[in-house]
Structure 1
Amino acid sequence: MTQPNITGKTRVHFLIGSPIAQVLAPGWLTERMRNANYDGMLVPLHIQKGNLESALPVLKAMPNVDSILITLPHKFGASDFCDRLSERAKVLGAINAMRREPDGTWFGDNFDGAGLIAGILKAGRSIADKRIFMVGAGGAGSSIAVSMLEEGASYLTFHDLNKTNEQALYEKLAAAYPGRVRVGTSVPPDTDIVVNATSSGLRDSDPLPIAPDELTAKMTVADVITDPVPTRILEAAASRGCFTRDGTHMLDGQIGLLFDFMTAHVHA
């Protein structure tokens, strides 16, 4: 990629989270901007848990900041800083992107689930009528759950170590998709797609989010983590003959959606 010519006219977009070293979106989206002859760049910012309330208003106040992307652990908290939310973001109470509107207000949306769906479909695998098992009920897991069920998955089983998040997501999903959701800690034998929607796997010392001996060769196993790839659970899944999708496939599925969202109000 040609090094971008950064000037005072360059439009700035931020990606906030903690940890932040593993994110790949800044390079991918900045390159997409340059290839589209859009003078912008996406900058990663390490904002630790507990600092969102002090940091986000400052970023919003900068006139040359057009959008802010959000990763763990800020996806739920950031929605409070938006003036409007998409319908899916309202259901979830979590966002992973917010942009400045022409009137100066901020609009939030969530593309986590849409990105994972796109990554699986692009590989020629279907989701309609499939049975899903997912670990994680945070921002990414919530979005993935809704997207999977909207795409026509027949059934979703999920769990989270955080029982407050688990119960909150179950109540939302059971109300919207009655009879298609339950909480369970092990992978049902008839599962078609297994998803790790947690940060477990970022470090070598992390416990595996899913017991490998519960996986069978007929399953597709996906992980939201972008670095390292493959994660240990994906290595274990591949050794059992599973088809796998890592976090870069999910990110690739999101890139076009995020780019369009971030640059929606660019005028030629």
Structure 2
Amino acid sequence: MDVTLTGETVLFPIAGDPIGQVKSPGLLTEILVARGINGLVIPTHVTAAAYPAFVAAMKTTHNVRGLIATVPHKQATLALCDQPSERAQFAGSVNVMHKREDGTWEGDNTDGQGYLNGVAACGYEVAGKRALLVGVGGAGAAIAYEILARGAAYLAIHDADEARRDAAIARLDARFAGQVGVGSSDPTGYDFIGNATPVGMREGDPLPIEADKYQSHQFVADCITKPEITPQLAIAQAKGCATMPGLGMFNAQADLLVNAMTGTP
């Protein structure tokens, strides 16, 4: 990465709480530089309570041209975005915004595309498969939509927040009638299992999925980048499952994020 900081450098904050786990600022900055953009992606630690004021401040900071939202801000960003994409509205969350010339935010959610592109890069396609997804928060809702949009035969959703789970299922059923329903942490009977929660990020976290029940024919994916191999992925690999760690999603999503935050078609 070769960035020359000047008064003309434009900024793209990435906001989260916590923020220490994010690996994207360096890679995204490298992509900006490779495209000839004098820009810098900077990590910003912002609490949920302070986040609306932070977004408002970034909106009036002229050399801030875009914003990336990570855990736990993606759903809150939807309400703060002036023009969210149809995909973001359906997912109920925004993870990246671009500031237009008139100073308003346009936003998208690239999580679902990144997750499934990463899975595809591992040689696996969800079309025609039975899938289980754990977690339908900011990233999970977008991933759920993309699983069905890519032709999964059926998607079961499990979330500790039953109200959030049921709301996601209702939205998806309106678009993919009869193909989505309530799941559990038991992966038995599914071809594809995805974790879209932050559970596994911290040492001592419980397993988000009953990983001892994995079978070798199943594909298991995670969205956590640190640690690279979560405890539940380690169990899946030991049982002979093909897997995608969170870095697969991260790498597949990088160009999508830069396109969205810079307003590149």
Sort the TM-score into its range (normalised by shorter chain). Answer: over 0.9
The answer on whether the counterparts of 2:59 and 2:104 sit within 8 Å (CA) in structure 1 is no
TM (norm. structure 1) is 0.95
Q: Does 1:212 align with 2:211?
A: yes
2:197 equivalent in structure 1 = 198
The answer on whether the counterparts of 1:102 and 1:265 sit within 8 Å (CA) in structure 2 is no
1:128 equivalent in structure 2 = 127
1:81 equivalent in structure 2 = 80
Give 1:95's aligned amino acid. Answer: V
1:258 equivalent in structure 2 = 257
1:246 equivalent in structure 2 = 245
Give 1:191's aligned amino acid. Answer: Y
Q: For 1:63 and 1:188, locate their aligned partners in 2 and report how far apart those are by CA, in whole Å.
A: 48
Gaps of 5+ in 2: none
1:156 equivalent in structure 2 = 155
Q: For 2:187 and 2:18, locate their aligned partners in 1 and report how far apart those are by CA, in whole Å.
A: 32
Instruction: Please state how far the C-alpha of 1:102 moved relative to its aligned partner.
Output: 2.2
Deviations along 1:62-113, whole A, 9 cap, x unmatched? 0000100001111111111111111111112211001111222110100000
Aligned residue pairs total 265
The answer on whether the counterparts of 1:11 and 1:40 sit within 8 Å (CA) in structure 2 is yes
The answer on whether the counterparts of 2:97 and 2:106 sit within 8 Å (CA) in structure 1 is yes
Give the fraction of aligned pairs with identical amino acids, expressed as a percent: 39
Q: For 1:27 and 1:162, locate their aligned partners in 2 and report how far apart those are by CA, in whole Å.
A: 34
- Range 31-40 or range 221-230, more displaced: 31-40
Instruction: Please state how far the C-alpha of 1:189 moved relative to its aligned partner.
Output: 3.0
The answer on whether the counterparts of 1:13 and 1:65 sit within 8 Å (CA) in structure 2 is yes
Aligned to 2:151, the other structure's residue is in SS state: coil
Aligned to 1:76, the other structure's residue is in SS state: helix
Instruction: Please state how far the C-alpha of 1:187 moved relative to its aligned partner.
Output: 3.3
TM (norm. structure 2) is 0.96
1:119 equivalent in structure 2 = 118
Instruction: Please state how far the C-alpha of 1:37 moved relative to its aligned partner.
Output: 2.0
- Alignment CA distance shift 1:239-1:13 (3 Å): same
Q: For 2:206 and 2:189, locate their aligned partners in 1 and report how far apart those are by CA, in whole Å.
A: 24
1:163-174 correspondence runs (5 A): 163-174=162-173
The answer on whether the counterparts of 1:134 and 1:196 sit within 8 Å (CA) in structure 2 is yes
Aligned to 1:13, the other structure's residue is in SS state: strand
1:9-28 correspondence runs (5 A): 9-28=8-27
